[in-house]
Chains A and B, each alone.
Chain A
């Protein structure tokens, strides 16, 4: 028997199965984690009925509450700062004709994406110690802001690149000064890119472990670090519940980021 796929010259044997394996390895553990966060008993391997007790437990746990609060504050503030910086950088590099070596600057801005995070983490810690900075979660906010800028920058820059500069010229022609043009033309048209960048920055900050681990001082524990601490004493359904919530927030943020990026 000749299957139609045998005739298709673009079809390569084995590729489908390997791809399927990838999906299994990636998503099966996640699915199991989510399912067992709703388990009725403590077991992380045997399903014994549906319950929300682990969520209730997690939400009423003071330590988790304070870690979640820290995480949200850090993510919100560093998202705000990094998005503002990224927007300014994108407009400066994308619109100012006087700046030379734009490609080099653009590359430098994105380089942190390729630097091993542990290196950035160690460097940041050393730097903070050297200048004797000890602002509690302020330290983490500074580190996250810097670390998130390239993530926020990417979609903003992409959006700006697709934006016809003659629209801004037209606005100037129609009696708007620089500020008015920025407010009424550039920023509104850039908004989807800015939101998309902000969402990315938010999840990057929310999920970050290595840098936070390095620079966090006592009392400024975030959710990922707290979860790590719990796991060392064994995986409990409570951990699954907190992880599921974190996963949910991330997925929503990514979807929103994609949605904004595609927006006209």
Chain B
């Protein structure tokens, strides 16, 4: 099947001294009918990428294809792409129905008003058709914005942090609503967020961005379990990192020496590593904590215990000074496995170890 969006070497520099390089030659393919998320910290270029796809900005370099057709030169009104804006941007001088019918009318579609009414029903706002946007709550305005962008049935829907202005409860129910709309309409969604939880729970695939570059594109579980770079591993979830020197110990395994007393058995070293230093990482919940001394693990002293509700996080200061975090499920009565100041051993399975080069 043809990809919905293909970008090649897409670059955007905003004028300034020096120019702001908001997007540095990105390559990306977004599949048809997928819920695709752009995730990254503030200022990494998510909005810029979205605005380039929508046609609000002109790329400095690179190509942008929509279903195989180069659209780099098309003005926004000629692109079968619609946007849900962060602050909704509903037309204040039109009522809700007129807002939703706006795109359809401009396209010269017959039955614009009826289609708009159907769209409003789809987002459960059928009875609000005659109201002004200012007479709606934030969540309702959000859904009008969705209906307005979906009504012309674009081939791709762009959503720029659409949930960020809503409160927690509403945000959670809107997540499900968005997923439902995406399934029911079959439209490709490109969703921007800096909320990792939102990204992990909603997306078919995620692109993690940092400073104008795409770090990794993968399914949510893969992003979390097999981060491609240290940035991705740090941005999504928590992790322990160690600088280490790899020593091969077979085709599919290696040992990673962090210090004389700390070494991890892990997967084979990546080809990119070239025998040099690498970063070894594991997630706190993938390690185990055993009270007292045990063979084979990393010995240390518990320096801090944090009760998290479903889990407890133990911070262990290893014997040579490094510190690791370990999370374990709580016992039935919620009591800790060991006390602060007591000896403990941290065990990490080789399968939990990830080796990062960048």
| A residues in contact with B93, CB < 8 Å | 188-189
Given contacts A167-B91, A170-B89, A170-B91, whether A176 and B54 have CB atoms under 8 Å apart is: no
State whether the Cβ of A185 lies closer than 8 Å to any Cβ in chain B: yes
- A-B pairs with beta carbons under 8 A, tally: 56
* Given contacts A174-B148, A175-B152, A164 and B106 within 8 Å (CB-CB): no
Identify B102's interface contact among A166, A174, A177, A189, CB under 8 A. Answer: A174
Among A166, A175, A176, A188, chain B packs the most CB atoms within 10 A around the CB of A175
Also in contact, A172 and B56, with CB within 8 A (given A177-B75, A180-B106): yes
Q: How large is the interface on B (under 10, 10 to 19, 20 to 34, 35 or more residues)?
A: 20 to 34
B275 within 8 A of partner (CB): no
Docked complex Cα distance between A167 and B90 (Å): 7
Residue of B nearest to A170 (CB): B89
A26 shortest CB reach to chain B, Å: 39
**B269 nearest CB across to chain A (Å):** 48
| A171 to B102 CA separation, bound complex (whole angstroms) | 8
A232 shortest CB reach to chain B, Å = 51
Known: A175-B103, A177-B75. A170 touches B83 (CB 8 A): yes
Give Cα A264 to B132, complex, Å.
Answer: 12
Check A174/B152 contact, CB under 8 A, given A164-B89, A189-B93.
yes
1/0 contact trace for B129-140 toward A, CB 8 Å?
000001000000
**In contact, A172 and B75 (Cβ under 8 angstroms):** yes
Q: Mark A46-73, 1 if CB is under 8 A from B, else 0.
A: 0000000000000000000000000000
Q: Which residues of the other chain, B, contact A167 by a CB distance below 8 angstroms?
A: 89, 91-92
**Cβ contact within 8 Å between A175 and B87:** no
Task: Answer whether residue A43 sits at the interface, using C-beta atoms and an 8 A cutoff.
Answer: no
B81: nearest chain-A partner, CB-CB: A173
> How many angstroms from the CA of A164 to the CA of B93 in the assembled complex?
13
**Of residues 42 to 89 in B, which have CB atoms within 8 Å of A's CB atoms?**
54-56, 75-77, 81-83, 85, 87, 89
Q: Does A126 reach chain B (CB closer than 8 Å)?
A: no
Interface check B2, CB cutoff 8 A: no
- Contacting residues, chain B, for A129 (C-beta < 8 A): none
- Asked if A173 and B87 make an inter-chain contact with CB atoms under 8 angstroms apart, the answer reads no
Are B102 and A173 in contact, CB atoms less than 8 angstroms apart?
Answer: no
How many Å from the CB of A233 to the closest CB on chain B?
Answer: 54
* Leading 10 A-B pairs by shortest Cβ distance: A174-B103, A175-B106, A170-B89, A166-B89, A172-B76, A175-B77, A173-B83, A176-B106, A175-B107, A174-B102
24 contacts between A and B (CB under 8 A): A166-B85, A169-B85, A170-B83, A170-B89, A171-B91, A172-B75, A172-B76, A173-B55, A173-B76, A173-B77, A173-B81, A173-B82, A174-B77, A174-B82, A174-B103, A174-B149, A174-B152, A175-B77, A175-B106, A175-B107, A176-B106, A177-B77, A180-B106, A189-B93
B residues at A contact (CB < 8 Å): 54-56, 75-77, 81-83, 85, 87, 89, 91-93, 102-103, 106-107, 134, 148-149, 152
